[in-house]
Chain A
Amino acid sequence: MSSNKQNNSDFNYPSNSKAAINVGVVGHTNAGKTSLIRTLLRDDHFGNVDDAAGTTRSVEQSAIYADNEVVLNLFDTPGFEDSSALLIALDDLSISIKPNSPTELLKAFIDQQGRYADFKQEIKVLRQSLSSDVLLYIIDVREPLLGKYRDEVEILSKAGKPILPVFNFIADENQALNRWRDQMALFNLHAALEFDTVAFDFEAEKRLYQKLQSLMERHYDPLQRLIDYRQQVWQNLNQAAAQRIFILICDVACYRLEATASQSSQSKTIGGNGFSDTDVNKMQAFVRNAEQQALTDLLAIFSFTQLDIDLQQLPVSEGRWELDIFSPHMLKEFGLGIGASALSGAAVGVGVDLMVGGMSLGAASLLGAAIGGGWATARRYQQEFKAVWRRHQWLCVDDDTVSLLYLRQCRLLSTLSHRGHAAQNKLKLVDNGKVGLPQKWPSLLKSLRQNPQWHQATPDDAEYHKSQKLMLEWLLLGN
């Protein structure tokens, strides 16, 4: 422990570092200790994670803050590899030195580490266990119940510290999980936690801190501050992501391109047969670009790296969606009806603003417009008046495409907010079939359509804020 303190002296803590809780993360090799820490730190560069024994060979410290206060010091330790032999060695030593307590036995074992060169990794674990306030014992529940795991718990219990078993890799492993629970209960370890480092769930992280609260009453308040702070940060991330999605949908739904008369007069059907390729391409390029920018922002909000993208099997390659938004397959994939445009072979995604033959009535009520004066009304509708005068039409993004865009962002948000920073196995996290459009989607879409002035703007408008609030509720609380 003294050596730890010495090493830690130049570590730059914000404040209260002396009061921080030292948490030893221990367990069998390859159980997911480093993965757990990565997830808690939201840092997929912490330590080394590999599907092989003995990947972590040093004790590595990191700290978790609640604002400016260090609440937890996490110590990643090498994994146990030969606990059965270690237990035999401890028993032999116990016979020879007759210690007063199990802790004294461990200390004596560490003092005589020269004699036990084979156990140098395990000795690091023992040393850290003695200097920690609490131990998180990580269990890969897919593993069979073997004697070596029982031996590990027996050895750790000699450190005299509270032990919290953490069940990892629990997805679809209910039976195994129950077996492990029963096994831990044999050691009087009834308080345990399910925390999947691959399929991360913030609630599980919260439960981890709550379990620590119950194990360490005197650290209750800082842990509560940590829970509150983390909750706030997590909500902020989700809120920011949802807000970004609203901006995307708003930009796309409010987008309009004035199409020239010679082409638009040929057809008024949704599908865009009457529009020039240049206009259609321009509109589609805008949508692609807007979605691309949103994707970049959303990946950045959740600190998603290419590694995460690969692990979560997001259909994203080099930061771009693999499947184009205007591909007819996309509509099928998201369970939307294929629009007339696709069926007729016309450009997908093209719609015509047919509301009033090219002139949409804005959401600003007529009364408001009238009171606002002729000038303001004329300014608001000047584009429409011009279009009517010139017999032009507005080319806009069709409803199916906007809906598709929304559904794809919903799925993305769900994936981004449920990943662990530690996944080593590719895992499909989101059930693609269950994302549906909210009941009030058509009315929201109508509201957006009626306010083209919201395109690429953040107006201080009650109707805008109402629409934003509604979509944020859908995205954050579900439809």
Chain B
Amino acid sequence: MTTSKFDKSLLIEQIRQIETPHPLNCDNEDELSDFLLNQTFHERLWQRAKRLVRQHDLSAALSHAARLSRTIKTITLTLVALLGAVGTMYAITDSDTINIYWLLLVLLGFNFISMLLWLIGISLNMDGLTSGLFARFTSRLPGLLNKVNSDKQGNINISGLADRAWLRCFYSATVGKWQLSKITHQLWLVYLLAGLTSLLLLMMVRQYDFIWGTTLLSDSVFIQLTGSLSQPLSLIGFMTPSVEQVQESRLGVEHILTAEHRSHWAQFLLGSLLCFGILPRLLLLLLSSLMSIRARRLFSLDLYLPYYIDLRQRLVPLASHGQIVDADTSPPVMTDIEQQIPLSHSLPEHTKWAAIELGDKFSWPISLINGLNNFGQVIDRESLESTLQCLQTSQCQVLAVVVAAARSPDRGVQRSITSLTLHCSQRWLVLLQSPDEKKISSKRLTAWYQLAQACNIPADHVISLSVDKT
């Protein structure tokens, strides 16, 4: 048997209620998202919930509210049936007479008022009216259950949480409205059927006279009422009492009723119960059942709750995460570099200068460099080539290569420095910084020292120079 969407949602909600204060560990949840590919998020939630139920043995806790509800419903239906039967018995004033209008009031009068209230409630969307006492009782249930299921600190146990979710799903919002309506109509139907059955049994085994009486109202009211009720009954074939027969049944009139007279009253009573009580209730029960089915079908989880947002991210990932497809087979061997702090240092007088990729933040040459000692700035292949030619021509022995300390050194910069300093006997690496620039990180400094080492520049030849930016 396939599980309905509502039942799936109910299970998911119960698990949510439980997991909110007591997160449950779901084994192999990742597998679940792979296994349920092409499934909707709702379906994935349900599968996960089922897995949690199995894993944590939650079946009993989850079905507790349903079982309790069934028990309460059975007891209530029994009580209502007894009430209907007792109410009917009460209409028998003495051993062999039945008070007609009392019976109509007990069985149909209250039923009519209840139906009227229900209709007003359902039309004006007033929940309090649609479901009567039963709704009021159920609205109190969560609080009562919380008290029963909580410990001294007020923490609700798992069964209590599952019950709360069950009640919320079944007895709140639109589903609740129609569910309570359904139960209300069921109760009244049982009450009326019990009344009808008792009446039938009583009339089958004994011969009753039918009487009525009034103190405040006039006789014509009852005659008119009987006439109005009889009209539709006559149309569907019930025999109903005539005006004379109604008058003859008045309490105090000394007249022995004929068998035909009794039969007319009996048919009138049974017909009224069926047409004005049982049939409308049956139709309303049918309507409520259909609306309840529709409401359950339209029931949806509030997927905007943080709980579901989190689960969506876990069960319906937006992306798969990294998998190496072309691995680095020989990672670089990092040599330990003695951490030093580059200091300002005066260089030999005949030092030549070249800069590498200083960027727009520094103008080259910087002010302290004599134009003749400047071999330019390397910014591309052409400028590297021209600088190398200048170095070759001048047979430079002491070269200071200036770099922007804040920039990240790479293999290209390393190659440029190596080629520039290849034929120099003394090499310097100058880390250029601006006074308003924040101090470079130790990681970046280490990277420059590593580069210096790779270019055969001694660590004490790595110096810092502070100049204003352009």
Residues of A near any B CB (own CB < 8 A): 3-4, 7-8, 11-15, 28-30, 40-43, 45-47, 50-54, 57-65, 67-68, 70, 75-76, 78, 81-85, 87-88, 118, 120-121, 124, 127-128, 143-144, 146-148, 150-151, 230, 233, 236-237, 239-240, 243-244, 297-298, 300-301, 303, 368, 371-373, 375-376, 460
Q: Which of B304, B313, B323, B412 contacts A60 (CB 8 A)?
A: B323
12 pairs, CB–CB < 8 Å, chain A vs chain B: A58-B325, A58-B326, A62-B323, A81-B411, A82-B411, A118-B411, A144-B358, A240-B308, A298-B306, A300-B310, A301-B306, A376-B128
Residues of chain B within 8 A of A297, CB atoms compared:
306
Any A CB within 8 A of the CB of B172? yes
With the chains together, A269 CA to B371 CA distance in Å?
80
Q: Check if B309 sits within 8 Å of A11, measured CB to CB.
A: no
Cβ 8 A contact of A372, one of B37, B128, B379: B128
The answer for the CA separation of A76 and B136 in the assembled complex, in Å, is: 62
Given contacts A30-B408, A128-B326, A240-B309, contact A147 B379 (CB under 8 A): yes
Partner of B326, one of A4, A11, A85, A118: A4
B447 partner residues in chain A, CB cutoff 8 A: 52-53
| In-complex Cβ contact of A14 among B38, B128, B324, B327 (8 A) | B38
Asked if B37 and A14 sit within 8 Å, CB to CB, the answer is yes
Asked if B408 and A372 make an inter-chain contact with CB atoms under 8 angstroms apart, the answer reads no
Distance between Cα atoms of A61 and B320 in the complex (Å): 9
Q: Is B382 an interface residue (CB 8 A)?
A: yes
Question: Which 7 A-B residue pairs are closest in the complex by CB-CB distance?
Answer: A147-B380, A59-B326, A57-B328, A144-B359, A81-B411, A297-B306, A82-B412
Contact across chains for B34 and A12 when beta carbons are under 8 A apart: yes
CA distance A124 to B443 in the complex (A): 26
Residue of A nearest to B168 (CB): A458
Q: Is B252 an interface residue (CB 8 A)?
A: no
Chain B binding surface SS class: mixed
- CB of B38 within 8 A of CB of A46, answer no
Cβ-defined contact, A52 with B444, below 8 A: yes
CA gap between A81 and B412 in the complex, in Å = 6
Bound complex: CA A421 to CA B447 (Å): 26
Q: Does B129 lie at the interface of the complex (its beta carbon under 8 Å from any beta carbon of A)?
A: yes
Question: How far is the CB of B395 from the nearest CB of chain A, in Å?
Answer: 25
Q: How far is the CA of A42 from the CA of B129 in the complex (A)?
A: 50
Q: Are A43 and B126 in contact (CB under 8 A)?
A: no
Q: Binary interface profile of B, 430-464, with partner A (CB < 8 Å = 1, else 0)?
A: 00000000000101100100000000000000000
- Measured CA separation A3–B327 after assembly (Å): 11
Inter-subunit contact B328/A51 (CB<8 Å):
no
Smallest CB-CB separation from B327: which chain A residue?
A58
Contact of B129 among A43, A47, A372 (CB under 8 A): A372
Interface members, chain B 316-339 (any A CB < 8 Å) = 316-328, 330-332
Contacts A30-B408, A45-B321 given; indicate if A3 touches B326 (C-beta within 8 A).
yes
Kindly state the separation between the CA atoms of A473 and B260 in the bound complex, as whole angstroms: 74
B319:A146 contact, CB within 8 angstroms: no
* Cα–Cα, bound, A368→B332 (Å): 78
What's the nearest-Cβ distance from chain B to residue A306, in Å? 17
Q: How many residues of B contact A (CB 8 A)?
A: 57
Q: How far is the CA of A138 from the CA of B109 in the complex (A)?
A: 82
Give Cα distance in the complex from A11 to B321, angstroms: 11
Known pairs A301-B309, A368-B126 / 13 extra A-B pairs, C-beta < 8 Å: A7-B323, A11-B320, A58-B325, A58-B327, A60-B323, A64-B318, A64-B319, A82-B412, A84-B380, A124-B328, A147-B379, A147-B383, A371-B124
B7 interface contact, C-beta 8 A: no
Asked if residues A373 and B319 are in contact (CB atoms below 8 Å), the reply is: no
**In contact, A62 and B443 (Cβ under 8 angstroms):** no
Distance of B119 from chain A, by nearest CB (Å): 13
Contact with A along B301-312 (1 / 0, CB 8 A): 001111011101
B412: chain A residues at CB < 8 Å are 81-85, 148
The yes or no answer to B22 lying at the interface (CB within 8 A) is no
Q: Specify which of A12, A43, A84, A372 is in contact with B319 (CB 8 Å cutoff).
A: A43
Closest to A303 in B: B313
Contacts of B409 in A (CB 8 A): 53
Most buried by A among B312, B321, B412: B412
Which chain B residues lie closer than 8 Å to A64 at the CB level?
318-319
A127 to B319, Cβ gap below 8 A?
Answer: no
Name which residue of chain B comes closest to A66, CB basis.
Answer: B318
Q: Which residues of B contact A15 (CB under 8 A)?
A: 37-38
Nearest CB in chain A: distance from B37 CB, A = 5
Set B34, B38, B120, B172: member contacting A460, Cβ < 8 A: B172
**Interface-central residue, B124, B173, B313, by most chain A CB under 10 Å:** B313
Looking at the assembled complex, report how far the CB atom of A124 sits from the nearest CB atom of chain B, in whole angstroms. Answer: 5
| Alpha-carbon distance between A7 and B326 when the two chains are bound, in angstroms | 8
A244 near B306 (CB under 8 angstroms)? yes
Chain B residues 404 to 440 lying within 8 A of chain A, measured CB to CB, are: 408-412, 415
Is B152 engaged at the interface, CB distance under 8 Å to the other chain? no
- A113 to chain B minimum Cβ distance, whole angstroms, is 11
- In the complex, how many angstroms separate the beta carbon of A95 from the nearest chain B beta carbon? 16
Q: Does B381 contact A (CB under 8 A)?
A: yes
B360 on the A face (CB < 8 A): yes
Distance between Cα atoms of A68 and B303 in the complex (Å) = 19
Q: Give Cα A279 to B323, complex, Å.
A: 57
A-facing residues in B346-387 (Cβ within 8 Å) = 357-360, 379-384
Contacts of A82 in B (CB 8 A): 410-412, 415
Chain A residues within 8 Å of B321, by CB: 41, 43, 45-46, 62
- Whether A151 contacts B381 by the Cβ 8 Å rule is yes
Cβ-closest chain A residue relative to B357: A146
Determine which of B174, B324, B381 lies in contact with A59 in the assembled complex, contact meaning CB atoms within 8 Å. Answer: B324
Give the residue of A51, A68, A237, A301 whose beta carbon is less than 8 angstroms from that of B441: A51
Hey, which chain A residues are within 8 Å of B313, CB to CB? 303
Q: Which residues on the B side are within 8 Å of A12 (C-beta)?
A: 34, 320
Whether the Cβ atoms of A62 and B322 lie closer than 8 Å is yes
Q: How distant is the Cα of A62 from the Cα of B321 in the complex, in angstroms?
A: 5
Nearest-neighbour CB distance to chain B for A206, whole angstroms, equals: 14
Shortest B170–chain A CB gap in Å is 14
Q: Is the CB of B381 within 8 A of A88?
A: yes
Structural contact, B332 and A54, CB atoms closer than 8 A? yes
Identity of the chain B residue whose Cβ is nearest the Cβ of A8 in the assembled complex: B325
Q: How far is the CB of A399 from chain B (nearest CB, A)?
A: 27
